[in-house]
Amino acid sequence: MTTAGRSLREFSNVLALLGIGVVFAVLDSKFLGARNLSLLMTEVSITAILALGMLVILLPGHVDLSVGSGVGLLGGVAAVLVIQQGWPAPVAMGVAVLGGVGLWLAMGTLIVKEKMPAFIVTLGGLLLFKGLFWLVIQNSTIPVVAGGAVNGYSLLTTYYLPAMAGWGLAIVVMGVWIWTQWLGRRVRVANGLVVESGEMFFLRLFVTAQVVGLFVLVTNQYRGIPLPAVLLGVVALGVALVTQHTAFGRHLYAVGGNEEAARVSGVPMERVVIGAFGIMGAITALAGLMQTAYVGSSTTTVGELMELDAIAACVIGGVSLRGGRGSVTGVLFGALIMATLLNGMTLLSVAPEMKLMVRGAVLVLAVWVDLRLGRKTA
């Protein structure tokens, strides 16, 4: 997609988000309340973290349908270890992360070694992980907080940064982000590539700083910046650095953009795909821990359809389902739109069947817009 296409998509996403926000604010004044916006940030963080993992899978031209079941399974494993087996929460969460990496590395290896479609392998994983999940929790509900006692597991979504710590973190984040943007701009100029004007570059940085400041101001009116937002920032920074500033990241784009050309150029195809699935496993485990902690228990419905939300967030954010195109910023925007829709519908007590219909319609609409923009800007 050309620069014009990306700009058109970003503009349409901004309009869509503003429109959604205005509609929900008019229908229920609580939507813009500090408490609801803080809860929305937690919901956005979980969806966005999972979508960032999906970005790494989609870039080389694959897809993962098993992440929703993986969220439930890995969150459930940690819940059983902490609540029923008495393990320390950090150890149990570490086991869940290692388990996720191992399972997804196995799927990636099966895909590249046996030349099996990722769609089929991960569809099988969806069913396998769902069955294992129900087996692990014995089709019951495992509360994350036992006897009302708060533990390290539940703190994943119940801890908030103090006000001053929030402002300090915001300053650090903006400093790092400005530095990376400036560094990327300098590299593009050095390589003779087209860059935006200095005025537009400054305006983008200024607007971003205003948004970050507003975010801290609003969250501090409730309890402070929620820990999930911090975790999202860490994951987003990590994925951005990997995809934009490492050889592995360039290989991800190369494989998805033109597999044959990448092979001829000496790109280690198998290692790239297997590595992408390993990253997805770790991110799925983190999202599973957060989702289970947010729900407050591990039950059979945890993680249900989250793979569709992750894919929809990616497509809305401009990630190509054919591979080779996508960015962290776009995924974050797409996740914000999806989470805002679900949060607003929950606030309005929309029936579950309507929620499913809206999510399906948004996914189809996002793919349609992606195809239309691709034709216009090709």
Asked if residues 278 and 108 have their Cβ atoms less than 8 Å apart, the reply is yes
Question: How big is the CA angle at 156 (ends 150 and 161), to the nearest 5 degrees?
Answer: 95
What is the model's pLDDT at position 10? 64
What is the model's pLDDT at position 378? 47
179-196 pLDDT, tens digit each: 877 887 887 788 777 777
CATH C-level class of 3-159+226-377 = mainly alpha
Name the 3-class secondary structure at 352: helix
What is the pTM for the complete model shown? 0.89
Asked if residues 23 and 343 have their Cβ atoms less than 8 Å apart, the reply is no
- What is the C-alpha to C-alpha distance for residues 190 and 205, in angstroms, rounded to an integer? 21
pLDDT tens-digit profile, the chain (378 residues): 544 455 556 667 777 788 888 889 899 888 888 888 888 999 999 999 999 999 999 999 999 999 999 999 999 999 999 998 989 999 999 999 999 999 999 999 999 999 999 999 999 999 999 999 999 999 999 988 755 555 678 888 889 999 999 999 989 888 887 887 788 788 778 877 777 777 878 887 887 888 888 889 888 988 899 999 999 989 998 999 899 889 999 999 999 888 888 888 888 989 999 999 999 999 999 999 999 999 999 999 999 989 989 998 998 888 988 888 888 888 998 999 889 998 999 988 889 888 888 888 887 887 777 677 655 544
- What is the C-alpha to C-alpha distance for residues 316 and 363, in angstroms, rounded to an integer? 8
338-375 pLDDT, tens digit each: 899 989 999 888 898 888 888 888 878 877 776 776 55
**Which token pair is 166?**
């929030």
